[in-house]
Amino acid sequence: MATQLPPLPQASRSGPAGGLGGAAFAGAGATGRSVTGSRLLNRRRISAATSLNPKRHTLRTVAVDNDFATATIAPIPVAYAEFFRLSSSQNSLGLDFSGDEQLLHLTTHALVKSEAALRQRKFDSAVAARHQLAQAFAMRGAWQAALEQHEHAVAAARFGDSRAVLAECLLELGHCQEKIGEIQNAVGSLRELVQMATADVDPSAAPADDAAPSSEALERLADIAIAGQKSLCRLLLAHIQQLWHEANPNDADVHATVARSFEEALGAARACNDTASQRCVYLRLGDFYQDIAQLDAAIENYSRCLELLSDGTPDGSSQMSACLGLSSCYDQQQQYDMAGQYLERLVELSRHQGSHHMTAETCSRLASLHARLGKFDRALLWNEEALGAATLVQDQPELVNKIKARFAVAQSQAMLVDFKR
């Protein structure tokens, strides 16, 4: 997250008002090699990655050991200013450093490591420091602060030459955005990840002396791309649900937007060969088309969901949902034989799953269906099955009365139809 900083004075051991004081930076002894009067390498790139104010700052002395574990800052402007912003009692990121010496120490040295690495153009090290800090903030429930560190990591990774590192940063950023409810932003991060990770590299675009990515790096990138595609599919479905809940369901533009999002989610699931995600997309597509009364499209997608389960994949929940959707669609189309077939299949599945509530509900639906068709003998048998299953459902005594009432209504409707004839 970019933060525009004002020009800072030269070294001072006292921090800005509201912070924890410059002693947090000066507590560790200098144990490494000093770099005096160092200049920013490639100022434009580094300043963009660290949000450094374009006005020139005078750097004093930086002493860093090999592991960046301790450092004496006098001060490094960006790390110095960011530390006091984070540690201020008035920060809006949910951070509380009071009494947390471990967090204080970690934040100090992670910021030092990040800026020192950027100045040496060691972008992967800067990314690692930011991720370490993001993890520490997330463990303490400060997700907004963690999000800011993930954004810093992405900014640093963009200046490096590793697509795998950038892809991993985008994946972590997307997950953090999802955690705080920024679903649309998370989708954007994962879209970028997938597009970047799956794009072909143009050899002519890289300098001639650049080494080709190793096989390990390519394998790592492929693994991250698969994880990103799975996450993108899941987040697109969450985004669709959010959009559908908030929008006017009769709006044709909303229908088109939802359909495109479903298509993108399905493409992501297919790209990573994730059958479970494909089943989920087809099932949700069936629900969507049934909601907007496009019953043929709903039946097609429910059927595709079941086709992906034909290999014996143990996913009883998806099978039951697809069968229930198909029976409802065929019932609305007055194809009662097909509706009955899927309800009977649903009874078998629910019994196999040990779902007494679903068994009772489905048997009750079958009883009502046969009663509406005037097949009272069959209707009575299914109603008895429904009542028997309902007695096995604990903590829902009203279910038995609900089934009895439903059957009585179906009988009355059937008799009324016969009377009119």
Question: Between residues 93 and 111, which one has the greater pLDDT?
Answer: 111
Q: Same domain for 348 and 360?
A: no
Task: Show which of 298, 319, 353 is a domain's final residue.
Answer: 353
For residue range 319-332, list pLDDT tens digits in order: 999 999 999 999 99
Judgement on whether residues 142 and 175 belong to the same structural domain of the protein: no
For residue 303, is it within any domain?
yes
pLDDT at 105: 86
Q: Are residues 121 and 45 in the same domain?
A: yes
Name which residue leads in pLDDT, 207 or 291: 291
336 belongs to a structural domain: yes
pLDDT tens across 357-409, in order? Answer: 899 999 999 988 988 888 888 888 898 888 888 888 877 777 777 887 777 77
Q: Are residues 156 and 72 in the same domain?
A: yes
User: Is 27 in the same domain as 139?
Assistant: yes
SS3 395: coil
Is position 280 within any domain?
Answer: no
Same-domain status, 149 and 185: no
266-299 pLDDT per residue, tens: 999 999 999 999 999 999 999 999 999 999 999 9
Q: Are 201 and 211 in contact (CB under 8 A)?
A: no
Is residue 206 in some structural domain? no
Q: Model-level pTM?
A: 0.71
Distances (CA, A) of 321 to 98, 266, 305, 399, 402: 51, 19, 10, 20, 21
Q: Is residue 279 part of a domain?
A: no
Place of tokens 């989610």: 265
**Number of domains the chain contains:** 4
Confidence of residue 91 (pLDDT cuts 50, 70, 90): confident
CATH at 290:
1.25.40
Same-domain status, 155 and 234? no
Q: Are residues 17 and 140 in the same domain?
A: yes
Chain mean position to CA 115 = 30
Q: How do beta strands 71-73 and 33-36 pair?
A: unpaired
Q: Is residue 207 part of a domain?
A: no
**Residue 203 maps to a domain:** no
Smallest CA-to-CA distance from 48 within 156, 165, 145, 193 is with 156
* Residues 156, 171 within the same domain: no
Same domain? For 129 and 243 the reply is no
Angle between helices 143-157 and 43-50 (to 10 degrees): 160
In this structure, the answer to whether residues 371 and 304 fall within a common structural domain is: no
pLDDT value of residue 76? 59
Domain of 333? 286-353
Domain boundary (301, 333, 353) is at 353
Structural domain includes residue 118? yes
Q: Is 175 in the same domain as 266?
A: yes
Query: Which one of 353, 372, 395 terminates a domain?
Result: 353
Could you tell me if 77 and 94 are in contact, meaning their C-beta atoms sit under 8 angstroms apart?
A: no
